[in-house]
């Protein structure tokens, strides 16, 4: 009888340790890139004290969370149409690693999140590198800056200053763009900043082996930008992914 009780205690202890380990793995800041809308950043903060909060979702406010029976249960408020409704959302925990959290629902779809170091604030240009996905063997974080003055229709030109953040072994990253419209406001320069995600594409309309860097802003106000990456330079492409036929400068040079 004593051996049986000891065995039961051991099983309970191991199960409890496993559950606590998984629950600890769930704690953190998790970001999802929406497959259909890559410019949208949203996710979940899961805090060690059981509280939770939303990332990038103004109408869906998470309040707390718990892990039970290999499921993640989220509690919060849905805000819309002039009313606030309490809700509970339950997901199956498919996989949790130091880098990735995969959640499923009813066996019909799966949502993949990746861990970021800090609670991301997409409005803070200095915090943009925190949105980068980390993975084993990703290498060091690298920063590159490209700059140049490109033509404009109604003023002397637009100074593009684009900073790229990515891990050495990843072709995708985050960008921060600062555009200076020369003499645009009653003879004075006008400045504008925005950030977004950068993707590396292979091929354009003229060369199937070309390397194209695509910049997708987080907001819906700015258009996607495509640049041919060649000899450490960015050459702006038109909407058809072709080089712009002009004697004017459409090249950004890397700033050493």
**225-252, pLDDT tens digit by residue?**
999 999 999 999 998 999 999 999 999 9
Please, which pLDDT band fits residue 197 given cuts at 50, 70 and 90? confident
Mean pLDDT of the chain: 85
- End of a domain among 83, 116, 149? 116
Question: 0.85 exceeded by the pTM?
Answer: no
How far, in Å, CA of 9 to CA of 15, rounded? 10
144, 243: one domain? yes
The vertex-244 CA angle with 242 and 245, nearest 5°, equals: 115
> For residue 1, is it within any domain?
no
111, 174: one domain? no
72, 142: one domain? no
Tell me which residue of 238, 255, 237, 214 sits closest to 38, measured CA to CA. Answer: 214
245, 135: one domain? yes
Which pair of structure tokens corresponds to residue 134? 């980390």
Q: What residues contact 121, with CB distance under 8 A and at least 6 apart?
A: 127
243, 135: one domain? yes
Q: What is the pLDDT of residue 129?
A: 81
- What distance lies between CA 83 and its chain's CA centroid? 30
- End of a domain among 85, 116, 147? 116
- End of a domain among 116, 144, 160? 116
Q: pLDDT digit string (tens) for 203-227?
A: 999 999 999 999 988 876 788 999 9
What is the total residue count of the chain? 256
> For residue 5, is it within any domain?
no
250, 144: one domain? yes
> For residue 12, is it within any domain?
no
Which pair of structure tokens corresponds to residue 209? 């082996």
Higher pLDDT, 77 or 118: 77
CATH number of the structural domain spanning residue 227: 2.40.128.640
> For residue 217, is it within any domain?
yes
How far, in Å, CA of 52 to CA of 98, rounded? 19
136, 112: one domain? no
177, 236: one domain? yes
Give the domain extent around 83: 24-116
Strand partners, 213: 200, 227
Tell me which residue of 146, 166, 177 sits closest to 255, measured CA to CA. Answer: 146
Asked whether the predicted pLDDT for residue 40 surpasses 90, the reply is no
100, 52: one domain? yes
Please, which pLDDT band fits residue 163 given cuts at 50, 70 and 90? very high
140, 90: one domain? no
- Count of structural domains, the chain: 2
How far, in Å, CA of 14 to CA of 23, rounded? 14
Residue with tokens 């060091």: 140
> For residue 184, is it within any domain?
yes
Longest dimension (CA), the chain: 91
Asked whether the predicted pLDDT for residue 108 surpasses 70, the reply is yes
Which pair of structure tokens corresponds to residue 115? 């861990």
Please, which pLDDT band fits residue 7 given cuts at 50, 70 and 90? very low
Q: What is the pLDDT of residue 86?
A: 94
63, 152: one domain? no
CATH number of the structural domain spanning residue 51: 2.40.128.280
Residue 171: helix, strand or coil by DSSP?
Answer: coil
Q: What is the pLDDT of residue 23?
A: 59
72, 152: one domain? no
Q: What residues contact 152, with CB distance under 8 A and at least 6 apart?
A: 158, 181, 182
> For residue 9, is it within any domain?
no
> For residue 14, is it within any domain?
no
How far, in Å, CA of 89 to CA of 87, rounded? 7
């Amino acid at each position: 009888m004593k051996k049986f009780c000891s065995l039961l205690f051991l099983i309970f202890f191991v199960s409890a340790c496993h559950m606590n380990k998984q629950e600890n793995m769930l704690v953190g800041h998790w970001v999802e890139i929406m497959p259909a809308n890559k410019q949208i950043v949203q996710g979940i903060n899961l805090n060690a004290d059981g509280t939770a909060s939303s990332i990038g979702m103004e109408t869906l406010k998470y309040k707390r969370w718990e892990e039970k029976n290999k499921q993640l249960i989220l509690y919060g408020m849905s805000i819309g149409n002039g009313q606030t409704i309490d809700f509970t959302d339950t997901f199956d925990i498919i996989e949790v690693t130091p880098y990735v959290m995969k959640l499923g629902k009813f066996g019909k779809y799966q949502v993949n999140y990746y861990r970021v170091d800090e609670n991301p604030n997409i409005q803070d240009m200095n915090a943009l590198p925190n949105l980068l996905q980390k993975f084993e063997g990703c290498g060091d974080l690298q920063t590159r800056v490209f700059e140049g003055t490109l033509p404009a229709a109604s003023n002397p030109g637009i100074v593009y200053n684009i900073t790229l953040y990515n891990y050495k072994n990843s072709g995708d990253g985050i960008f921060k763009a600062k555009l200076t419209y020369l003499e645009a406001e009653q003879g004075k320069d006008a400045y504008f900043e925005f950030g977004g995600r950068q993707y590396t594409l292979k091929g354009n309309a003229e060369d199937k082996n070309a390397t194209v860097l695509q910049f997708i802003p987080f907001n819906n106000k700015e258009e996607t930008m495509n640049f041919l990456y060649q000899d450490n330079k960015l050459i702006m492409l038109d909407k058809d992914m072709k080089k712009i036929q002009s004697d004017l400068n459409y090249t950004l040079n890397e700033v050493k």
